A and B are shown apart, each in its own frame.
Chain A
């Protein structure tokens, strides 16, 4: 077995009240102030990233956010209009794709239709100084790694979509690149297969220890796969952090809204300091928040509260903080939880979800329409964002 397998301890992300930057490690893949424009269109503007060795890093964003252009610049298919790219300390900005220690798994897989699965996987080894036996050995190891040992002689059109995806992965890994780029790696798979493949992918990443950079528009995929995520919008990076950080401590309304669902309202600071109070017209009251940010009285802000952090009941528990009332407009039953859309007195909609802990028919809140409910949330549940 010539595969350099290593067991990388998966970084655990304990829930932190105050996210502190992890101790700075040497960046393995360094993107330094990179911009790219196509004519008048600015696809990527002034992006800097430090990706660590062995990390699974995701570029997350909607279509047209520049994530694919950035990935193509890492692969060498596009040249940055400005900025530099370093891999393992070497400046590769002007190195052509065929000389970069980087391989890519294409969204469409781009398997060569006229070559067998084996030949596809072996293709990148043509240019390596290896003996025939070594190459055969490597191809076999790759087929084993992606569990396709029996299908080596098949042509791409003779295997299923999920198998094609794994051949594409094996082909890109065969050269043992320093960095593997994955463009929407699970995008073409159906939902069931996607969930299963997700774990396989991170498993393979841990076994090979290769640095993965994944481009995806799917926040669930990014959350489950990644060590860290860069959320992109309009060609710029909005926030970089662990899945936990970007979910619980979004840096902007956009990130908060893009990852998961969230209630986002405008407000202004009434009282700063230990028990900060923010006046939120949509909620029809002042809200007590626990914010570490230095806020000034009168400062306009946004408050963001995740639906699962809001308790919903006919009557709020005694002593509950931040209580607002409203009427249930719709219910969405998802099995594991139920999402309520509640119309507040201000006319605004508030989302609140309840995990269905008990196995029961019917919801704890009766199906009577327009039922009056009380909602409450802890000061720690509120994210205060600058406006």
Chain B
């Protein structure tokens, strides 16, 4: 940039546009472009989903219509949804699987995150890279890798069967464990896929903890486990909440994992939405289930962030 480019009060009037842009116009642009994009490609689709959920399935193209007279809308999809045992069951399965996944991720991920946070700095960054690395590689392929392990003839299954048979009388020994296409497999692979999402926020919180607080607790008579319970655990609650959010929410709506390693008689809600839309071609029903799922997830997020703010306020940090 040369000296001549610097705007001065005595700029010629013809350059008012440029001056306006330099001072204010770029702000309108910065805010306007993404807003417009999101309105068209994010808010509009959701308005459409909401609208269709209030319509009726019809043998047309696209396969729905609204009531021909006022109020034009119809809550029948929502009524059907609540009456449909399969849909309610799928909701419950999803929540249960997601909750179980979150719990196991927490139990497995906490010691890992703590171990990394307490490792020496150089080793710490290596370990972090190793935890993040799978996240960058294909999610679909990592699920696929488990399909290879769960099948009845795989070495992993044989190993587990062997271990299992140690606790069984010889005459009742199993040939292989039925792992593939079970709810167990769904939870196992979800834990596998979402574990980094639990470890990373936990690590971020644990790394920041002041170790002199641990020393203070120890100095005041607490043994190491007590120090963990009284100091480390309560102070890492924000990380636990963040990790739980990042695992639970996507696990609830998971489609790929239950489709590949789950079974068809215990579907999760994502599978039901997809089937209603593509197989049954019942758009209003698919839309209604989506709206309910979103409402549940948003409500949950609100609750979690409220909880988080309360915890942070109790510690005097800015929420």
Contact = CB atoms under 8 A, between A and B. Distances in A.
A156 interface: yes
A157 B235 CA distance: 14
Contacts of A172: 219-220
Given A110-B213, A155-B314, A156-B316, A97 B219 contact: yes
A112 B317 CA distance: 13
Contacts of B231: 112
A199 interface: no
A229 to B, nearest CB: 24
B315 A104 contact: no
A320 B282 CA distance: 113
Given A106-B215, A110-B213, A123 B220 contact: yes
Identify the interface centre among A98, A124, A172, A175: most chain B CB within 10 Å of its CB: A98
B217 interface: yes
Contacts of A108: 210, 212
B316 A123 contact: no
B275 interface: no
B223 interface: yes
Given A113-B235, A113-B316, A114-B314, A124 B210 contact: no
B132 interface: no
Nearest to A75: B219
A124 B315 contact: no
Identify the interface centre among B216, B221, B230, B315: most chain A CB within 10 Å of its CB: B216
Nearest to B234: A114
A127 B215 CA distance: 16
A138 interface: no
Contacts of A127: 220-222
B217 A123 contact: yes
A147 interface: no
A25 B315 CA distance: 47
Interface in B217-249: 217-223, 230-231, 234-235
A112 B233 CA distance: 12
Interface string B291-319: 00000000000000000000000111100
Contacts of A77: 215, 218-219
B122 to A, nearest CB: 14
Contacts of A113: 213, 235, 315-316
Given A113-B316, A114-B314, A123-B230, A103 B219 contact: yes
A149 interface: no
Interface in A124-169: 124, 126-128, 155-158
Nearest to B212: A110
Contacts of B218: 77, 96-98
B220 A103 contact: yes
A300 to B, nearest CB: 47
Interface residues of A, number: 29
Nearest to B213: A110
Contacts of B235: 113-114
Nearest to B222: A98
A122 B69 CA distance: 71
A171 interface: yes
Identify the interface centre among B210, B215, B219, B314: most chain A CB within 10 Å of its CB: B219
Contact of B216 (A102, A104, A128): A104
B316 A155 contact: yes
B218 to A, nearest CB: 5
Contacts of A126: 221-222
A158 B217 contact: no
A293 to B, nearest CB: 44
A106 B316 contact: no
Nearest to A155: B316
Interface string A58-102: 000000000000000001110000000000000000001111001
A124 B213 contact: no
A113 B311 CA distance: 11
Interface in B175-218: 210, 212-213, 215-218
Contacts of A157: 315-317
A128 B217 CA distance: 14
Contacts of B230: 112, 123
Contacts of A128: 221
Identify the interface centre among B221, B314, B317: most chain A CB within 10 Å of its CB: B221
A310 B231 CA distance: 57
A112 B213 contact: yes
A335 B232 CA distance: 51
Nearest to A174: B220
A106 B212 contact: yes
Nearest to B216: A110
A98 B220 CA distance: 6
A98 B223 contact: yes
B213 to A, nearest CB: 5
B314 A124 contact: no
A104 B235 CA distance: 21
Contacts of A97: 215, 218-219
A336 B78 CA distance: 87
Nearest to B231: A112
Interface of B: 210, 212-213, 215-223, 230-231, 234-235, 314-317
Interface of A: 75-77, 96-99, 102-104, 106, 108, 110-114, 123-124, 126-128, 155-158, 171-172, 175
16 contacts: A77-B218, A97-B218, A98-B219, A98-B220, A106-B212, A106-B216, A110-B212, A111-B216, A112-B217, A113-B315, A114-B235, A126-B222, A127-B220, A127-B221, A155-B315, A175-B220
Given A108-B212, A113-B235, A155-B315, 4 more contacts: A75-B219, A104-B216, A171-B216, A172-B219
Give me the 8 closest cross-chain CB pairs, A-B, nearest first.
Answer: A157-B316, A124-B220, A110-B216, A127-B221, A110-B212, A113-B315, A97-B218, A104-B219
